[in-house]
Structure 1
């Protein structure tokens, strides 16, 4: 088994569970010997689950969830143990780090892609303070793709056809070019699907998929001890995506006035008197009530324009590895470029409440020098390294709210708000971690990392006349007149650590206890507005301190595997969004400002069970729990400890069964899984009445923006023929057709409007795969 390869608990030999190899400590190790809460799934196991895209990893991995970012469906918000960064602005860092072939992906754009030629997917839970220390206060997602090999020509062709005209094609080819010296591997996929939502305004279908991905790897091995791996990857998506649907509108929201004015311009005469305003609100409220009733729990939406999302990512890597007498020396370098563009009707209604566009153009490159090995008669295993990272580019978004009402109120001018930031980040980390074996059973772990981030932003936040483009005002007081330019740079630094004690009870049972500290960098507010001395100040790093105890064991001659971990985590200087209201040149403005507003604690645990019940049949189960609570959370608006934890599910579990049996004409396989999640807040809404809200608003928003509890059933059945060269399979996703909202937006007071996106319905199809070579 190659380093980094991993198998799912359901992937087995004929009679016993197969070993799982992970790289949770930067070297290949048996998962059962690693004192880390980690779940690993092999590429083969993911195929048997019919896991097509990266979010599918979460089905059978406890304690992790994926959600499409509100700003663009091409990016993902990843939650592990309650830690999540819900926004994908270039000035904000994720709580869960993503590493592909050892290279850090700073931005989630393009992460919602196909699992192309994946060797393994590993989920590390908890702060990865030392080895994967770049902003990983919640955990890390490690994706390992297949490397070229020298064992002969091989590859595969796969084609899928499913509901909604789903078409997926994948081609993989491995070519040895020079015996034991040079090998090439290429993989390409296309994923297309028609939409299943209907835009009632124009009759168009929404929710399509249209993406391409390709990867080429070249392996050079000039000597027995030196290897060089070069790779290039390309991803592109351009689709009409799932729409938001309006799920709540307050009876007192000014959006009701906008609705009445758009329905009949003559209603503008009612603006002159308080009684007329009341009539307008009543007319608009009736429009929204009828619309929400007609579209709730349906695949229909009436949106002003079809939601479009585009993303293109290019990634280039080089990894050099030198084997030495004590271990290995490795150098990992890479470059990643991202272009993204999204045009969304965020309110999800035929009324122009909020319309936004966003464009991102970012590039990053990093280098990591890493040394690992064994010394002192193999009693000390160590890994040490130096990490350097640079990111630069622009992030821009524009929005228009309530255009008809605003134009009337401003005497014919329609302001367009523009947030534009030119960002630059330089980061460096120095780390070392080791495990010292005291005797045959006891060992201690210690690790330390020092991180420095230098972040700079040049902001041009402003409002312009939507008709002429003329500047109306700069949003940050103190910025340069005429251009609205303002710049600042800040340095953030801190220590992270890991320390633990391991007890190998028997060769098949491990008990460990550890403590760790994670560091997520601070930054500046890209959407700042108001006084430069307050709105444009940086937010400080978020610090997570977690304590964990775990047990890993195998029993009954490796037929039963049981792993469990419990944790307690305190997060200080927690980064949360605060709505700040300011008056600039007589105009009231609100903006979302990230600040260090509190402290929270999280406790819970995860468990995994796999059992080889009889030859060819494996039953597996996972479960996770997290209990979040704010200990301190306050700002100028008062105590905010009642706020919901967005995307944090308190309970989830999964059950899976795999059966493999030799038939007279081939080999049959069957996989069935059921993944259940508890109630999940889709936004960080308040649960008490705040200024500008009523009790009915609070309850209405909470109900509309909370995903209901429930599970999804998935299955795949296949038969392999011609010595496993040909496989034919049928599959079903979300077989019970459970429908729910899985992404939500809240436009707070005075708008008090909420919108959400609905998950995919039941889909099914067939897949044919032809494999050749070894």
Structure 2
């Protein structure tokens, strides 16, 4: 980082940059590629212009580029029953049920295809056994993974003090994001499900312009602080995905999308002590926002079986406009080193387009709404001579019209073929509540020793989760029964997704009491623990192997020495995951879609040394 005072107190610039390279920790036993590597650069330029005391303009530009070998996945098991069912199901065939005989399993069509295209000799068991023998840091992938991400952002923040108490502020931004990746989702040599975009074909290319105009001010002798304004956003996005699915199906899908959002807003905070001294320290905050979102776009999806048999070939053009009134209201009370607060707010997630939907009724989906209630406190106090800081919060969140992704299938009534068109859509499925507690505690036991503890508890559940099912093969729901395409799934019993019930951390920091000319020497150690969490979207645990991700606890540590011997040098030795724990951080959740289960595993122990030099000292 370099600071440049171009014109004293008028024009200043800051230039920063970083280059980061790290080898991966998972190796392909055939190609020798190392997955889970890091390789990126980023640069930042900031220019501050202050021509007068009342006018300020800050222009910020960020650039970043990442090019890696992608993420390794590890195959765990194969759903042979589902695979055998899927082949006749994908062809629109319903095999008659016979006593004590499952025709789909007797035909063994899925296993025959896996043996031929896997390749495998025993319906994938050899693939599973070979991977288990290698361990999770060595894989054999067929999708030639990579991941390229480029983003540029420009933000201009203009401020003009119209008076001593009123400021006009304008924030204008332009950003781009281009992402291209190949990903072997099943983590094996078999092409159950893999994204195989060739170089130069972007999975997503997004360009966004935002404009926000604000009038900020204070009135009533400083008791009232307010902001009124309007926000506008325009986004253009397009992308293509080329994939291989179910061993012999070639998939191509693409989309173009244009979105405009306009939202006027106002918020004010009023010190009620202005009315009467008995209310001194009590503040009322009210805010409201009206959002109008328009999304329009087109999409196509093609699925072709080996040999040129077309399974799906369709496209559509559609649009959806959604509006919402959202708000926040809160009270906070400040007394010396204590603050108590309570607030309620309503949020909104816009409706949109399902770019790979098969059923025309599922091309669009409706908004999701949430109302959140929160009370809490922030306090600084002392236990004897020991300074303490305690922050706590209780919250209750109520979701309606929840959005979730699920399989989508459609048999065109105007087409004589019984073959269903397969895709995926976003559905509005029901209601949920999430309640919890968050707290953090900081205790300075001595001038050099500080203890920091955090804890979070979450109680999350679905109150209603009903999904019209359009998958290719039967799906288990909370009734314990398998439901077929066209049935409604009752999924209220599902664990709430990606929400651990408990999580906590404990940190110790110690600043050595050395003479000033030695510099600052500080050591720290942190233990952080996260409870198990559920990862599947529409499958109960008994129908989705691996959907529960395990709890884990990590020990991280560092020793830093700043201004070494009164010089401009600083150093830090750090270690993460010191116990070198290996645990699953992601599950494929494809057991009933493309009939396998695979996992992504955590980073191993990392030990590092970081050196820095301050040229301005």
TM-score between the two structures when normalised by the length of structure 2? 0.85
State the match for 1:627 in structure 2: 459
Deviating more after overlay: 283-292 vs 206-215? 283-292
Select 1:245's aligned residue among 46, 63, 74: 74
Q: Counterpart in 1 of 2:180?
A: 341
Aligned counterpart, 2:547: 705
Partner in structure 2 of residue 364 of structure 1: 208
Q: 1:553 to 1:257 in 2, by over 3 A?
A: closer
Aligned 1:188-587 pairs, distance under 5 A: 188-254=17-83, 274=106, 280=112, 283-291=122-130, 293-295=132-134, 298-323=136-161, 324-357=163-196, 359-403=203-247, 406=248, 415-439=249-273, 440-464=280-304, 472=310, 475-476=313-314, 484=315, 486-504=316-334, 506-530=335-359, 532=360, 534-536=361-363, 538-556=364-382, 559-584=387-412, 585-587=417-419
Counterpart in the other structure of 1:741? 584
CA-to-partner distance for each residue in 1:23-49, whole Å, 9 max, x for gaps?
xxxxxxxxxxxxxxxxxxxxxxxxxxx
- 1:670 to 2:523 alignment: yes
Matched, 1:756 2:605: no
- 1:463, CA displacement in angstroms? 3.1
Distance 2:284 2:557 in 1: 43
- Matches of 1:579 and 1:328, distance apart in 2: 51
Higher strand fraction (1 or 2): 2
Structure 1 counterpart SS, 2:191:
coil
User: In the TM superposition, what is the alpha-carbon distance from 1:475 to its structure 2 partner?
Assistant: 4.1
Partner of 1:35: none
Partners of 2:324 and 2:428 in 1: CA distance: 16
Q: Measured at CA, do residues 216 and 497 of structure 1 come closer, stay the same or move farther in structure 2, by a change above 3 Å? A: same
Q: Say if 1:604 and 1:253 are closer, same or farther in 2 by CA, change over 3 A.
A: same
Q: Is the 8 A contact 1:644 1:684 kept in 2?
A: no
Deviation at 1:284, TM superposition (A): 1.0
Secondary structure of 1:284's partner?
coil
1:333-364: CA deviations, max 9, x gaps?
11001111011111111112112146111100
Separation in 1, partners of 2:77, 2:616: 57
User: Which protein has greater RCO, CA pairs closer than 8 Å, 6+ apart?
Assistant: 1
Partners in 1 of 2:42 and 2:357 — Cα distance? Answer: 36
* Deviation string, structure 1 residues 313-349 (Cα, Å, up to 9, x no partner): 0111111112331143211111001111011111111
Give the match for residue 13 of structure 1.
Answer: none
In the alignment, does 2:427 pair up with 1:595? Answer: yes
Q: Is the 8 A contact 1:705 1:754 kept in 2?
A: no
| 1:290 Cα offset (Å) | 1.4
User: Looking at CA atoms only, which structure, 1 or 2, has the larger radius of gyration?
Assistant: 2
For each residue in 1:148-173, what CA deviation from the matched residue of structure 2 results, as whole angstroms up to 9, or x when unmatched? xxxxxxxxxxxxxxxxxxxxxxxx10
What is the number of equivalent residue pairs in this alignment?
555
Q: Is 1:451–1:494's contact at 8 Å kept on the other side of the alignment?
A: yes
TM-score of the aligned structures, taking structure 1 as reference length = 0.68
Distance 1:770 1:256 in 2: 63
Contact 1:581 1:591 in 2 (8 A): yes
Task: Give the conservation status (yes or no) of the 8 Å contact 2:196–2:244.
Answer: no
Is the Cα–Cα contact under 8 Å of residues 256 and 288 in structure 1 kept in the other structure?
no
> Is the partner of 1:614 in helix, strand or coil?
coil
Q: Which runs of 5+ in 1 are unaligned?
A: 1-171, 259-270, 407-414, 477-483, 689-694
Distance 2:349 2:105 in 1: 52
Give structure 2 stretches of 5+ with no counterpart: 88-102, 115-120, 198-202, 274-279, 469-487
Q: Residue in 2 aligned with 1:85?
A: none
> Which residue of structure 2 aligns with residue 679 of structure 1?
532
Offset of 1:748 from its aligned partner?
A: 4.1
2: CA distance, partners of 1:272 / 1:579: 21
1: CA distance, partners of 2:64 / 2:84: 39
**Alignment-derived partner of residue 659 in structure 1:** 510
- Cα deviation for residue 742 of structure 1 reads 1.1
- 1:498-540 residue CA offsets vs partner (Å, 9 max, x unmatched): 1122222x2111111111100111101011113x2x132x211
Conserved in 1, the CA contact under 8 Å of 2:84 and 2:111?
no
Match of 1:125 in 2: none
State the SS of the aligned residue for 1:274: helix
Structure 2 counterpart of 1:14: none
Structure 2 CA distance for partners of 1:450 and 1:463, relative to 1, 3 Å: same
Q: Distance in 2 between matches of 1:238 and 1:210?
A: 6
Residue in 2 that maps onto 1:134: none
How far 1:392 sits from its partner (Å)? 0.2
Bigger Cα displacement from structure 2, 384-393 vs 641-650: 641-650
CA shift at 1:427, angstroms? 0.3
Kindly indicate whether the alpha-carbon contact (under 8 Å) linking 1:368 and 1:387 is maintained by their aligned counterparts in 2.
Answer: yes
Give the 3 Å change call, closer, same or farther, for CA 513–257 of structure 1 in structure 2: closer
